[in-house]
Amino acid sequence: MAVLLLVYLWFSIVPVQAAEGKGISAQDGQEIYQMLKSGKRTSMPKEKTYKKPEQPTVYLTFDDGPSKLTPQVLDILDKEDVKATFFALGEEAKAHPDLIKRIVKDGHTLGNHSYNHVYKELYSDFQNFWNQIQRSEEIFADVAGVRPQLVRAPGGTYTNFDAYYYYLMEQAGYTVLDWNVDSGDSKRQNVPVNEIIQSVKNAPLEHEMNVLFHDGTGHESTVEALPQVIHYYKKLGYTFAPLTTEVKPKQFPVGKPKWSRNMSFAHFNELLQETQQYALAHVPPKNEPLDTPEQLVNQTKIAREESAQALASKPSLPLKINVVGGNGYTLDQSQYELQGDRIELALRFLVEKMGGRMEWNEPVKTAYAHYGMYDVEYDLPKRSIRLYKLGNRVATHNLADMSLVEGTIRVPLQNTVGLLGGRITQSVMDSGTREVSLAFRQFNMWNENNSLLKNSLFAINY
Ligand SMILES: [Zn+2]
């Protein structure tokens, strides 16, 4: 009880401190105004401010709803056990309050996509954009009790936003998000299902994928394509999550706006005051203390995750790898890296320790590993591993976690071993010991067939 009370007191003090720190002097205001006028943003999302998810993650987003199609989208997400983000329009929320409620109740993130989506209004002056964001937000707050902190600009920010829009939205406490995968479902009317799926598949794979869809009226083919898109990413090893303010937002660069606008210093100052006051009244300060028992439980979880991170940042220890029924090998600290609990190591290193040989074909970004009668292709753009036996393809695996770091393909140990038919049987990771044991189903067969594997790090079933 004492803890909760203390937490409550601290919570009530923080906004005051934030208020004092927030004011901008007239001179600073003029400097910011001039900088923004030149088209430069004052700040960009910084890597370290956000949480990079452990697993490769897809954020599905649905714009322009809710509409009569939204229940179908929600049913599919429910069935696939996927959480997503809905950038809703205030106008549609007013027409379908129950759907807004369901989006929130189902555990998805509700984002703000303006009130009426009319470009000419939204992009003729920031004041109009800002008014629409607030108008929608009041509707969301009334209907579902939430004030979305995430905003997606209708049409995306590129050539719509200028540096002022970005800056003022930040001052108001919002996170603006574009996307890095356009499903192309609103290129024109009735885009065929296959075209949507193909557009999704054409997008280069990244650790975090923010996919643009629409659940507004007329997007029946989006609903039809959705299960296949979900299966596509699941097969690649992606997990799904709703967007939050902790996810690094995908943002397009500031382009020359296609709208003619005039921002005087006086107007800028008005808007600056308005947005900052708004943030003080509505936006919880960053790093706020947690205020419910449920969140205190979460706090414990976060502390545990942080200790895993602390472990990762500690002066490294050698990592001992034992292969059940085979030899062990010790990697020194430069030969592997810990990302949370995940061990990443260089593919070339792994292959060479297996007694194999690696070649890298730069134009197609594919690595070839050769061992005895086996050849393996690591196709980086497709994140796939193709396994050949005596020149015949016997299997293809997908490994979304594969990455290219300073010219080296990095792979996560657990997933790689798993895809190749093995598993981690034991793992000790504490401040004094780092040791992992691996087992491979076909180790014995391998030992008979390929003497190279006797002394190898991994008796992978190649
Ligand atoms: Zn839209």
Q: Tens of pLDDT along 279-328? A: 888 866 554 343 344 544 454 455 445 555 555 555 568 888 877 666 67
Give the pLDDT confidence of 38-92 residue by residue, as tens digits. 998 888 887 667 889 989 999 999 999 999 999 999 999 999 999 999 999 999 9
The percent of residues above 70 in pLDDT, for the chain, comes to 74
Distance CA 276, CA 21 (A): 11
For residue 111, the CA-to-ligand 1 centroid distance in Å is: 12
The pLDDT value given to residue 444: 31
154 C-alpha to ligand 1 centroid (Å): 4
Q: Ligand 1 centre from 4 Cα, in Å?
A: 42
Q: Determine how many CB atoms are found less than 10 A away from the CB of residue 282.
A: 14
Distance of CA 64 from the midpoint of ligand 1 (Å): 5
Average pLDDT, the chain: 80
Block residue for tokens 């902190």: 149
Q: Where are the domains of the chain?
A: 2-291, 312-365+402-455
Given a contact cutoff of 8 angstroms between Cβ atoms, the answer to whether 149 and 141 are in contact is: no
Return the higher-pLDDT residue of 327 and 13.
327
In this predicted structure, what is the pLDDT of residue 327?
67
Which residue numbers are catalytic? 63, 214
- Model confidence at 438, pLDDT cuts 50, 70, 90, reads confident
Residue 63 Cα, ligand 1 centroid: separation in angstroms?
A: 5
- CATH architecture of the domain with residue range 2-291: Alpha-Beta Barrel (3.20)
Evaluate if residue 449 carries a pLDDT over 60: no
Separation between Cα atoms, residue 374 and residue 421, nearest integer Å? 15
Phi, psi of 157, deg, nearest 5: -80, -25
State in Å, rounded, how far the first CA of the chain is from the last one. Answer: 59
Helix (H, G, I), strand (E, B) or coil at 171: helix
Four-residue CA torsion sign, 391, 396, 400, 401: negative
